[in-house]
A and B are shown apart, each in its own frame.
Chain A
Amino acid sequence: MVTDTRPAGAAVNPDPAGPARGPRRRSLYSAQRRAGWILVLPAVFALSLVTIVPIGYGFYLSLTSYNPVERGGPRFHGLDGYLDVLASGEFWHAIWVTVQYSFGTLVLAVPAALGLALLVNGRFPGVALFRAVLYLPRVVPLVAVSMIWLWLYSHDGLFNYLLDLVGLPPVDFLTDEDSALASLIVMRAWKALGGSMIIFLAGLQGIPKSLLEAASVDGCGRWRTLRHVILPLLVPITTYVVVVDLIYLAQSFSEIYVLTSGGPLSSTTVLNMLIYNEAFEHYRLGNASAMAFLLFCLIFGLAYVSIRTMARGGRR
C-alpha cells in the first residue's frame, strides 16, 4: 500500500506543479523510458557478454579451422568444417547414441511419471510426504546422483547382489559395451521421474470435475474414464513434458562424463561428449563449434517432430 505522499523531489518529478498536460505527459514517458533502460541494463550487459556475443562468435568459429595450441588464430574456411563433420562416422554414431539415450529415457520416464502422478493425485494419509519423496531425485545434483548409482552398479553393489539372489551371473553394468548405455538410461529416467510427475500432477488437478462426474454418470468405470477422458485431456501437457525433457536430454553430459567418459568403445559417447572431447582434448575448436550448431539443429528438429506428432495424436 502506498502511504507515502511526500512529493518525491525535483529529480524524480521535474514538474512538481504539474501544470499543462502536454509537457507533463512527455516527461513522464521519457522518465519511464530512462527507468526502463536503467532496469534492464545490467541484464542486457551480462546476457550480451555470455550469450549473444558467444553465439555470433561461435558461428564464426564454426566456419574456421582453429587450434589454439598452434600459433596464429582461426583460419576461415567457410562450410568445410560442417562438411568434414557431416562426413565423419563418429559424428553420426554420436547422434545415434544421443537419440537412443534421449528417447530411451523418455520411454521409461514419461509413462512412469504419469503413473506416479495418478497415484499421488488425491487426498489420503501421507500423500504430501510421498510427493516430496518422489520429487527428491529431481532436486539432487546430477553428479551426486551419479555417485550413488556408481555404487549401485558396481561389482559389489545393490544390483549385482539382486542378480545374485535370483541366481544370475554378475554384470559389469557401466564397463560392458552392451549394458553401459542402458544402465545410464535407467539412472537418468529415475532422475527425471519427479519433475515430470509434478507437471502431470498439475495437469490432473486442472481437469474440471464436471467432466469426470459426467463420465461417471454415463457409466464409465475407472479405466475407461482414464482412457477416454483423462488421457486425451493430458495430451498438451504430455507434449510439453516430452519436448522440454527432450531438449534437456539431448544435451546430457555430466552423468556420462562422470560414469563412463563416453566409453566403453564410445558406446555412450553422446554428442555433447564428442564436442567436449573435440574441443578440450583435441583442441579442434572450429570443428567442435560446427558440431555444436548441428546439435542445435538436431534439438530443434526433435522438438519440432515431437510437437507435430503429438498434435496429430491429440486430434484423433
Chain B
Amino acid sequence: MNARPRIGGTGPRRTVLAGAVALLVATPFVWMVSLAFKPKTEVFAYPPRLLPEQPTLDNFSYVWNSTNIPVAMTNSLIVAALTVAGNCVAATAAGYALARIDFRGSRLLFTAVLGSAMVPSIVQLIPLFLIVKGFPLAGGNDLFGQGGTGLLDSHVGLVLPILVQPLNIYLARQYFLDMPQELADAGRLDGAGELRIFWQIYLPLARPIVATIAILSFTGAWEDFLWPLVAVSSPEMQTLPLALSSFAGSGVTQYGPLMAGTFLAIVPVLVIFIAGQRHFVQGLGSGGVKG
C-alpha cells in the first residue's frame, strides 16, 4: 500500500486539496441554486453575491404557474417511464436470448445490434422523421401514411426511437453470458420451459443489470433533445429540455425562473443517481450461484 504514489499528499492534506477541486467543479451548480432562490432585484445586482440576501420561492411559483415547464415535466416523466419499461423488458429479454440460447440467426442478430449502435443518430434522424410522420392510421393518416402528421407530436412518437436501445441489449447480453449454465440445466431437469427458465431463474438474478439499464434509459430519455426538437411542434407535447430552451430563448432571459426550472430538471436525475448507487452495491452481492 505504501508503494501507491500519492500525488498531492496523504490524509487531511489530500482531503483539503480534493475538497477544493471538488468545490471548484461544483461552482456552476452552487450558483444555479443561489440564483434559483434570489428575488428579481438581486439576480441582476452587481457585483453578484453568492448567498441571496432575501431567499424566496417566487421563481419556483413563477415556473409552476406561468411557464410550460410543469406540462413539459409531465411529458418527460411519461416518456422516461415508457423508455425504462421498454428497455427493461425488451432489451433484457433480447440480451438473454442472445447470450444463453443458441438459435439460428442469433450471431447475425448480435452483429446487427452492435453495428446499429455505431451509426450516429443523425443518420437515422431524417428517415425516422419521415417514417414517424407517415405512420399508417395514426394522427389523421390513412392506411398509406398520407394526409396527417402520423405519430409526430405524440408520446408514442417521442418514445419510439429510444424504446429499445442496442447498448442495453449489449449490456444485458454481457451480464447473462457470465452466469452459470448449471442453473438452466437444473431448471430443465425440473421440467421448466425455456421461457420459464428466463423468467423465474435468470431474470431474478439479473436485477443489478436491469437496474443499470433502467438508470441509463431514464437519464438518456430525460436528456434527449434532438429527436423531441424534430418530433414535437405543439407546446403541449414539449419535453423538459425543449421547454427550458424555449423559455431561455423567449425575449430577455429571466435567469431567476430559468435557474429554478433547471433546478427542477436536475432533481429527478439526482434522486435516481443517489438511489441507484445503493441498488448497485446491493446487487453486487446477490448474483450467481452460492453454496
Within 8 Å of chain B (Cβ to Cβ): is A150? Answer: yes
Q: Which of B15, B90, B187 contacts A126 (CB 8 A)?
A: B15
With known contacts A54-B127, A149-B28, A275–B5 Cβ distance under 8 A: no
Whether B122 lies near A292 (C-beta < 8 A) is yes
CA A275 – CA B46 in complex, angstroms? 40
Within 8 Å of chain B (Cβ to Cβ): is A92? no
Bound complex: CA of A53 vs CA of B127, how far in Å? 8
Judging by beta carbons under 8 Å apart, are A137 and B25 in contact? yes
B166 close to A51 (CB less than 8 A): yes
Is B214 on the interface with A (CB-CB < 8 A)?
no
Q: Which residues of A contact B186 (CB under 8 A)?
A: 2
Determine if A43 and B258 form an interchain contact, defined as CB atoms under 8 angstroms apart.
Answer: no
Nearest Cβ in chain B — how far from A173, in angstroms? Answer: 14
Which chain A residue has the least Cβ–Cβ distance from B48?
A161
Residues of chain A with a CB closer than 8 A to B253's CB: 150, 154
B94 contacts which chain A residues (CB < 8 A)? 39-40, 42-44
Q: Are A40 and B98 in contact (CB under 8 A)?
A: yes
Interchain CB contact under 8 A, B6 and A46: no
Q: Which residue of chain A has its CB nearest to the CB of B220?
A: A141
B251 to chain A, nearest CB (A): 14
Chain B 83-102 residues near chain A, CB threshold 8 A: 86, 89-91, 93-94, 96-98, 101-102
Across the interface, which residues of B come within 8 angstroms of A216, CB to CB?
2-3
Chain A 203-237 residues near chain B, CB threshold 8 A: 209, 212-217, 222-223, 225-226, 230
Contacts of A68 in B (CB 8 A): 130
Residues from chain A with a CB closer than 8 A to the CB of B11 are: 124-125
Is B121 engaged at the interface, CB distance under 8 Å to the other chain? yes
Question: Which one of B2, B46, B48, B193 has the greatest number of beta carbons of chain A within 10 Å?
Answer: B193
* Contact A258 to B245, CB < 8 A, known contacts A142-B225, A190-B25: yes
Decide yes or no whether A167 CB sits under 8 A from chain B: no
**Interface majority SS (helix, strand, loop, mixed), chain A:** helix
Q: Chain A interface residue count: which class?
A: 35 or more
Complex contact A2–B187 (CB within 8 A): yes
**Residues of the B chain whose Cβ atoms lie less than 8 Å from the Cβ of A37:** 97, 103
Q: B116–A12 contact, CB under 8 A?
A: no
Q: Are B121 and A36 in contact (CB under 8 A)?
A: no
**Cα of A74 to Cα of B54 in the assembled complex, Å:** 61
In the complex, chain B residues whose CB is within 8 Å of the CB of A276 = 122, 226
Picked from B25, B47, B48, the residue with its CB within 8 Å of the CB of A134 is B25
- When C-beta atoms are compared, the residue in chain A nearest to B230 turns out to be A280
A272 vs B198: C-alpha distance when bound (angstroms): 41
- Tell me, in angstroms, the Cα distance from A152 to B28 when the chains sit together: 7
A209/B97 in contact, CB under 8 A? no
Report B286 CB to chain A, min CB distance, Å.
Answer: 12
Grouping DSSP codes into helix (H, G, I), strand (E, B) and loop, the B interface class, with mixed when no group exceeds half, is helix
Query: A39 touching B5 by the CB < 8 A rule?
Result: no
A304 at the interface (CB under 8 A from B): no
User: Is the CB–CB distance between A272 and B259 below 8 Å?
Assistant: no
B78 interface contact, C-beta 8 A = no
Of all chain B residues, which has the CB nearest A293?
B123
Q: Across the interface, do B119 and A39 meet the contact criterion of CB distance under 8 Å?
A: no
Q: Which residues on the B side are within 8 Å of A144 (C-beta)? A: 241, 244, 262, 265-266
Bound together, the chains give a CA A46 to CA B113 distance in angstroms of: 11
- B4 on the interface (CB 8 Å rule)? yes
User: Does A313 belong to the interface (CB within 8 Å)?
Assistant: no
**Interface membership of A308, Cβ < 8 A:** no
B177 contacts the other chain (CB 8 A): no
Judge if A264 is at the interface, Cβ distance under 8 Å: no
Give the residues from 131 to 190 in chain A that come closer than 8 angstroms, CB to CB, to chain B.
Answer: 132-134, 136-137, 139-152, 154, 156-158, 161, 164, 190
Contact B101 A222 (CB under 8 A): no
In the complex the two chains form, is B265's CB within 8 Å of A8's CB? no
Q: In the bound complex, how far is the Cα of B6 from the Cα of A216, in angstroms?
A: 12
B171 touches A (CB below 8 Å):
no
In the complex, how many angstroms separate the beta carbon of B149 from the nearest chain A beta carbon? 12
Closest chain B residue to A248 by CB distance? B120
Contacts of A122 in B (CB 8 A): 4, 6, 10, 14
Is B53 in the interface zone, CB < 8 Å from A? no
**A151-B122 in contact (CB<8A):** no
Contact of A4 with B by CB under 8 A: yes
| A7 interface hit (Cβ, 8 Å) | yes
Q: A44-72 interface mask toward B, CB cutoff 8 Å, 1 = contact, 0 = none?
A: 10110111111101100100000010000
* Residue ID in chain B nearest A278 by CB atoms: B126
Contact: A40 with B93, CB < 8 Å? yes
Contact among B109, B187, B225 with A253 in the assembled complex (CB-CB below 8 Å): B225
Which residue on chain A has the smallest CB distance to residue B133?
A: A68
- A279 cross-chain contacts in B, Cβ below 8 A: 125-126, 129
Task: Using CB atoms and an 8 Å cutoff, list the residues of chain A in contact with chain B.
Answer: 2, 4-8, 11-13, 16, 28, 31-40, 42-44, 46-47, 49-55, 57-58, 61, 68, 116, 118-120, 122, 124-127, 129-130, 132-134, 136-137, 139-152, 154, 156-158, 161, 164, 190, 193, 209, 212-217, 222-223, 225-226, 230, 247, 250-251, 253-254, 257-258, 272, 275-276, 279-280, 285, 288-289, 292-293, 295-296, 299
State the 7 A-B residue pairs at the shortest beta-carbon distance, nearest first.
Answer: A12-B193, A35-B194, A36-B103, A43-B94, A141-B223, A143-B241, A254-B225
